[in-house]
Amino acid sequence: MPSTEKFDMMILRRPLLRFTATLLLAATTALGCTAATANTAPADRHLSGIAYTEEAGTPQLLDLYLPSTRPDGPAPLVIYFHGGGFFFGDRTNMGAPLPWGSVADIADALNKRGYAVASVDYRLSPQSQWPAPVFDVKAAVRWLRAHAGTYGFDPARFAAWGDSAGGYMAAILGTTGDIPELEGNGGNPGYSTRVQAVADWFGPTDFTTMNSQAIPGGLAHDEGSPEHRYLGCAPSQCPDLARAASPVTYASSDDPPFLFQHGIIDHLVPFGQSVELNTALRNTGVRTLFFDYQFTDHEFIGAADTRTITQQFFDFLDLALRA
């Protein structure tokens, strides 16, 4: 169930969010990233296979879904990261139908609400391990900010969103913006990797506690697990590395507002992962919104109403990026 206290707190602090966005717009403009005017977006609304970095010699690609009209000027941008246990999937989703729809479905709905959407590939394990995929998603944010004027979105209003492993990517972006050692060399230096909102759908947040939080019969999260492949070692055997790769480690008072949505009986990513990061963020004063769903498993399979879930997501974006 949602916390009405947390939702009310976000509403009461709308002026602070607006002030923060104004400061970020001024900062990105000073870096040479000026906001686009309302008529500068390309005519095509779906642009596929754009290379945003070639770090390690392999181009990483993203797709753009652009709103057909932007009556209020440059559009807020939602950056999507796919799930797949860190080792499969791509920017078009995981190759299988999901109960909440495809990224193209939600991108279309977001476009109709005036949002631009970027769907981003990143390097996968075991060929690429921590921190290489994080370097990729940081490079994507820098590329998008550097090209905001070309495509008509607002460099001061970026939201990161992802499901499962993609939720982790969104969360690590939200908690590690502009941390030098996690930036990588993926191009467009000088542009911020901070985002102004995060929507974390059932993503891992603390590799040191996942195994202990797993429900009976759920996926184990140590030897041979997806996290093992991602880190290059079983979390119990490299706790320092596991902590360094965990979003919860970096929770701080300057992180953006977070939305958490998670099924309570998730057998792949324990529900406690969202609870843990939500608690850490709240303890630093970060605004969060948390929804849990009874009798609901991974990817919102189960009793949850996916129309309600996506509406809660849309409402959060409106509150965080448009208030």
pLDDT class of 315 with cuts at 50, 70, 90: very high
Residue 323: predicted pLDDT: 79
One-letter amino acid of 113: R
Which residue is associated with the tokens 């970096």? 250
Q: Going along 102-253, which residue ranges are E strands?
A: 116-120, 153-163, 197-201
Mean pLDDT of the chain: 88
Q: Going along the chain, which residue ranges are E strands?
A: 46-53, 60-65, 75-81, 116-120, 153-163, 197-201, 258-263, 288-293
Residue 42 has pLDDT above 60, yes or no: no
Residue 25 has pLDDT above 70, yes or no: no
Average confidence (pLDDT) over 6-33: 37
CATH of segment(s) 4-322: 3.40.50.1820
Residue 72: predicted pLDDT: 73
pTM of the full predicted structure?
0.88
Query: Which of residues 2 and 19 earns the better pLDDT score?
Result: 2
- Can you give the residue ranges of every domain in the chain? 4-322
The model's pLDDT over 126-142, given as tens digits with 9 standing for 90+, comes to 999 999 999 999 999 99
Residue 39 has pLDDT above 60, yes or no: no
pLDDT class of 4 with cuts at 50, 70, 90: very low
The model's pLDDT over 173-188, given as tens digits with 9 standing for 90+, comes to 999 999 999 999 999 9
The model's pLDDT over 216-232, given as tens digits with 9 standing for 90+, comes to 999 999 999 999 999 99
CA 317 – CA 294 distance, rounded (Å):
24
CA 294 – CA 300 distance, rounded (Å):
10
Give strand pairing partners of 47: 64
The model's pLDDT over 84-96, given as tens digits with 9 standing for 90+, comes to 999 999 999 866 6
Residue 44: predicted pLDDT: 63
Average confidence (pLDDT) over 271-276: 98
Which segment of 2-6, 151-155, 206-210, 299-303 scores lowest on mean pLDDT?
A: 2-6
Average confidence (pLDDT) over 110-128: 97
Residue 17 has pLDDT above 80, yes or no: no
The model's pLDDT over 56-112, given as tens digits with 9 standing for 90+, comes to 788 999 999 999 987 678 999 999 999 999 999 999 986 667 899 899 999 999 999
Could you tell me which residues come within 8 angstroms of residue 240 by beta carbon, excluding any fewer than 6 positions away?
A: none
- Phi-psi category of residue 43: left, alpha or beta, with phi > 0 → left and psi -120 to 50 → alpha: alpha
